[in-house]
Amino acid sequence: MTLDYNSLLTALAVSAACLAITVLASWIARRTETFLLACGIGLILIVSGIFAYGLYVDQPNVTVGIVNFALLFPGFAMVWGAGCQFRSGKFPRMRVAASAALTTVAASLPMLLGYDGLAFIIDNTVIAAFLFATAYQYWRARSEAAVPLTGITALYCLTAFSFVLCAVVLIYQGKLVLGVAPKNWAEDLSLAVCIASMTGIGALSLALHQWRMAARHRIDAATDPLTGLLNRRALFDRHGAGVMGPTTAVLVFDIDHFKSINDSFGHAVGDRVLKIFAAELTANCRLSDTVARHGGEEFAMVLHEVMPGRAEIVAERIRKAFEERELDIDGELCKCTVSVGVASGRTKPLPFDAMLSAADKALYAAKRAGRNRVELASHLQAVPTDTARTAS
């Protein structure tokens, strides 16, 4: 083989190694992004496979050829698995292991039997398939960040196509036995494409990681860490400047005697009660609705496009379901109730804070009336906020 080819092969190994370092460094910066770890491990295997292939180029040997397959295929399978994990949050361990093992065997058998040309046809085809599959995973996830993910998809597809060309040229030549590493224009082109793609994928992956970290910070800033619901700030960011129409309802919930729960059973049990109630709220809202922890043991729900009377039905269903829940605390049963204020069915649009205030007044009327009940703001006289708060 020529020095130029070996130089390209070395450059590819260095480019892949740099990408592996970039990916692993990104994972260290944010350990929760475990797909980066899987991708980094896959790239390390690929770099090792490239070095093994370099040895095969200099001195063709069946054992070295099989080692090359045994490193490259699991590496590309890991990169594909990382793409699956990026999109779905789950790493497909069994599919990665099975596909890596089957493809390694599929390419190794012809190599052992002396059909190294056939082995390299399988080699190029398998790598192309893994790359196309990886591109498909990022393409499916493109709604998260369209520009970098579309770019990554395109680069994976371009690289895959270069391996397809290598396989096609070998098939066209019709040589099932080569005796040396494949040498043709497609191999040279593939190496050049791989080097360029590695660089591009590395840059886009870094940009994507930074974008994702910024998005996670925004989510964390808008999320209550205990319940996973929106916090008060996010609630007002979403609806504070809006106007609530006649088909919109605002519900405010307050867990009854919550302080006594903390005093009797401890704050850990109190936190558990809050999470259980948050789950009850989430189970009873649609994607178009909003649920938030308004503060302490108080929660708010905004229902959109609801028919008259629907908000009261939802509030009563949540109240009843929560009342029927029982917590076993060291053999002692803990039952909780909730009071609800509902503002809905207005004949004219109102600002969000006015609707929330009306629901809040209804809530404290419910508490004055004995708690564990639903009270409607539309059925109440105006209650001064300071007076209402004394009922809590």
- Are 193 and 250 contained in the same domain? no
Q: How far apart are CA 212 and CA 89, in angstroms?
A: 14
379 pLDDT more than 60? no
More confident residue, 308 or 230: 230
Summarize the confidence of residues 314-325 as an average pLDDT: 91
pLDDT of residue 8: 80
In a domain, 384, yes or no: yes
CB atoms within 10 A of CB 325: 14
Average pLDDT over residues 104-130: 96
Instruction: Assess if residue 37 is contained within a domain.
Output: yes
Where residue 240 falls among pLDDT bands split at 50, 70, 90? confident
pLDDT at residue 392 tops 70: no
The answer on pLDDT for 381 being more than 50 is: no
pLDDT band per the 50, 70, 90 thresholds, residue 345: low
* Tally of domains in the chain: 2
- β-strand partners of 185: none
Structural domain ending residue among the three candidates 176, 194, 222: 222
Rg (Cα) of the chain, in Å, rounded? 31
- pLDDT tier for residue 2 given thresholds of 50, 70 and 90: very low
- Is residue 69, in this structure, part of any structural domain at all? yes
Q: What is the pLDDT of residue 342?
A: 93
Q: Is 19 among the domain residues?
A: yes
* Helices of type H across the chain: 3-29, 34-58, 62-88, 93-112, 116-140, 146-173, 185-222, 232-239, 258-265, 267-283, 310-324, 352-368, 385-389
Mean pLDDT, to the nearest integer, of 249-264?
Answer: 89
The neighbour count for residue 167, using CB atoms within 10 Å, is 20
258 and 211 within one domain: no
Per-residue pLDDT, averaged over 286-315, amounts to: 89
Query: Does residue 111 register a pLDDT over 90?
Result: yes
Same domain, yes or no, for 178 and 140? Answer: yes
Of 197, 210, 190, 142, the residue nearest 19 (C-alpha)? 197
Contact 123, 69 (CB under 8 A): yes
221 pLDDT above the threshold of 50 = yes
> Is-contact 57 5, C-beta < 8 A?
yes
Q: Is residue 227 one of the residues assigned to a domain?
A: no
Is the pLDDT at 207 greater than 60? The verdict is yes
Give residue 388's pLDDT band: very low, low, confident or very high (50, 70, 90). Answer: very low
Q: Which of 173, 204, 222 is the last residue of a domain?
A: 222
- Residues 218, 237, single domain; the answer is no
Residue 34 and residue 106 in one domain: yes
**240 and 173 in one domain?**
no
Q: Is 154 a domain residue?
A: yes
Pair 200, 251 in one domain: no
Parent domain of 100:
3-222
Residue where a domain terminates, one of 181, 197, 222: 222
Whichever domain contains 170, its CATH number is 1.20.1070
The whole-number average pLDDT for the span 342-368 is 85
- Residue 212 and residue 267 in one domain: no
Q: Could you tell me if 213 and 322 lie in one domain?
A: no
Q: Are residues 287 and 193 in the same domain?
A: no
Q: Return the pLDDT at 145.
A: 83
245 plus 201 within the same structural domain: no
Crossing angle between the packed helical segments 34-58 and 3-29, to the nearest 10 degrees = 160
Residue 193 confidence (pLDDT) above 90 = yes
Q: What is the CATH number of the domain that holds 264?
A: 3.30.70.270
pLDDT higher than 70, residue 385:
no
Residue 345 in domain: yes
Average pLDDT over residues 281-295: 88
Domain membership flag for residue 333: yes
Give the mean model confidence (pLDDT) for residues 26-46: 87
pLDDT tens-place string over residues 136-191: 999 999 888 888 899 999 999 999 999 999 999 999 999 899 999 998 999 989 99
Residues 250 and 177 placed together within one structural domain of the fold: no
Per-residue model confidence (pLDDT) at position 346: 64
Mean pLDDT within 100-128? 96
What's the mean pLDDT in 285-308?
89
Is the confidence at residue 117, as pLDDT, over 90?
A: yes
Q: In this structure, what DSSP letter does residue 30 have? A: -
